[in-house]
Amino acid sequence: MWRRRKKTNLRIALFGPYMFELAVGLRENPDNEVRLFLDEDTIPRSLRSEPALDDPGFVEVGPWISTRSILRPRSSEIAKRLGGFDVALVTELGPIFAAASRVPFVFIPTGWDLTCGPFPVRSRSSRNRGVNDLSALAVAYRLRLGIRTAIGIWGAPFAPFRTAAERLGRQLTDNLPQPIDMALFDPGRELVGGRATEGDISIFHPSRMMMTEDRFHVETGQWKRNDLLFEGVALAVADGIDARIRLLQRASSPDQARAREMIEDLKLTAQVEWVDAGTPDGFTWSELADLYRSSDLVVDEFGGWFGLVALEGAACGRPVLNRVDPLVMEELYPDGYPFLQASDAEQVAEVIVDLVDPGRRREVGEASREWVLRHHDRSVVARRTESALAGLGFS
């Protein structure tokens, strides 16, 4: 139980939708005065059902991001709000406004905000040309200025983040693990809809389809190599394994048509189910948790690092298959990690065959959840954040 110290509370502002879990964890400590700022037009559907969003003393939702606020951040309302705190933790476009507010701030990148946003020329293949190019230039200019004034950049030292930071003349100063709501992804929660499919093993692969080996996608960590999964499943099926796959149908999957063609060429059409959220806003967190729990194996990506898919799948007590940089993982997790590894289709098939055994799945799944509890539970991450802030002089 927390004991309130006789001192002024540390006022912490957070900006960006992916800061919600960290904000909840920091709020557990009554010595922290926590405020989360969310832009009303960019709140993901997965977050909209959270009751905490209705607490005005915790969350402020507003029209923070606009062309005007990006071009003139010092006069923006969000910069004025951030300026009233001791320290800010920001992501996405947050560095633009935090720098303008003059508040000391830490930048916690989610991906695009460090690897693509500051580099409009390198990222031009990922957007439509014309007016979008002008917008990207304006955002990049402000974002680069903001990131360079951060008192720290907390990101995992995988190649995409490390390379992008170096291009900006900065270094990653710490790694903050991604926080997870372990109660939401509890494997014991009642499952809506039951097990995904019949067969020997059910596989859930919620990643976007990005198989094209484009240099920009490789450098920025967007090359997911989904083809390894399809080829591996085809090998396992040829060996007599009844493996089924669930994929998410989404507009943000640039290689989705190619994936369908590949699945057909490999004669896997009957093995694959495409799941549609029924809305452009995507799935809620509860719906995603049910999809994880309804599977036997969660497949992340094979590009060398990991994100929420791996952590959420493991939190649900499911084995997770991916490919991560072993040297970086050893640095981040010297006590080891539970993710099953594969670098080619043959290794993917071997993992699938091994996990046909329910006992083996249970063994890996339980170890996976315990690992997430130790390293990524939002309370654990919040306490680590407090220690890191204390090291910067904020306590």
CATH number of the structural domain spanning residue 261 = 3.40.50.2000
User: Do 211 and 65 reside in the same domain of the chain?
Assistant: no
Number of domains in the chain: 2
- The C-alpha angle with vertex 299 and arms to 198 and 265, in degrees rounded to 5, equals 70
Cα separation, 66 vs 287, whole angstroms: 31
Give the number of C-alpha atoms closer than 13 A to the C-alpha of residue 383, restricted to the C-beta side.
7
User: For residue 117, is it within any domain?
Assistant: yes
Tell me how far CA of residue 87 lies from CA of 17, 33, 84, 248, 392, in angstroms: 18, 11, 9, 38, 10
User: For residue 193, is it within any domain?
Assistant: no
User: Do 211 and 349 reside in the same domain of the chain?
Assistant: yes
Q: Do 43 and 61 form a contact (C-beta atoms < 8 A)?
A: yes
User: Do 174 and 221 reside in the same domain of the chain?
Assistant: no
Residues of the domain holding 251: 201-375
User: Do 125 and 235 reside in the same domain of the chain?
Assistant: no
pTM: 0.92
Reduced to 3 states, what is the DSSP secondary structure of residue 141? helix
Torsion of CA 388, 390, 394, 395, to 10 degrees: 130
Q: Do 42 and 19 form a contact (C-beta atoms < 8 A)?
A: no
In one letter, which amino acid is 301? E
User: For residue 2, is it within any domain?
Assistant: no
User: For residue 248, is it within any domain?
Assistant: yes
Element containing residue 59 per DSSP (H, E): strand 59-62
What are φ and ψ of residue 248, in 5° steps? -95, 130
User: Do 138 and 277 reside in the same domain of the chain?
Assistant: no
User: Do 149 and 263 reside in the same domain of the chain?
Assistant: no
- Bridge partners of residue 272, in order along the sequence: 245
Q: At what angle do helices 256-265 and 226-238 cross, to 10 degrees?
A: 20
Q: Which residues of the chain have pLDDT under 70?
A: 1-7, 123-133, 190-198
User: Do 113 and 159 reside in the same domain of the chain?
Assistant: yes
What are φ and ψ of residue 212, in 5° steps? -70, 125
pLDDT of residue 128: 58
pLDDT of residue 5: 43
Cα separation, 94 vs 73, whole angstroms: 11
User: For residue 187, is it within any domain?
Assistant: no
Q: Do 100 and 74 form a contact (C-beta atoms < 8 A)?
A: yes
Residue 168, exposed/middle/buried by CB under 10 A (0-12, 13-18, 19+)? Answer: middle
Give residues with Cβ within 8 angstroms of 21, minimum separation 6. Answer: 179, 180, 181, 378, 381
Q: Do 275 and 247 form a contact (C-beta atoms < 8 A)?
A: yes
Q: Do 157 and 173 form a contact (C-beta atoms < 8 A)?
A: no
In one letter, which amino acid is 120? P
User: Do 35 and 164 reside in the same domain of the chain?
Assistant: yes
User: Do 249 and 348 reside in the same domain of the chain?
Assistant: yes
Structure tokens at 85: 């705190």
User: For residue 361, is it within any domain?
Assistant: yes
Give residues with Cβ within 8 angstroms of 32, minimum separation 6. Answer: 9, 10, 12, 26, 386
User: For residue 190, is it within any domain?
Assistant: no
User: Do 107 and 231 reside in the same domain of the chain?
Assistant: no
User: For residue 274, is it within any domain?
Assistant: yes
Reduced to 3 states, what is the DSSP secondary structure of residue 205? strand
User: Do 386 and 358 reside in the same domain of the chain?
Assistant: no
Reduced to 3 states, what is the DSSP secondary structure of residue 137? helix
Torsion of CA 234, 249, 301, 205, to 10 degrees: -60
User: Do 107 and 209 reside in the same domain of the chain?
Assistant: no
Cα separation, 380 vs 311, whole angstroms: 14
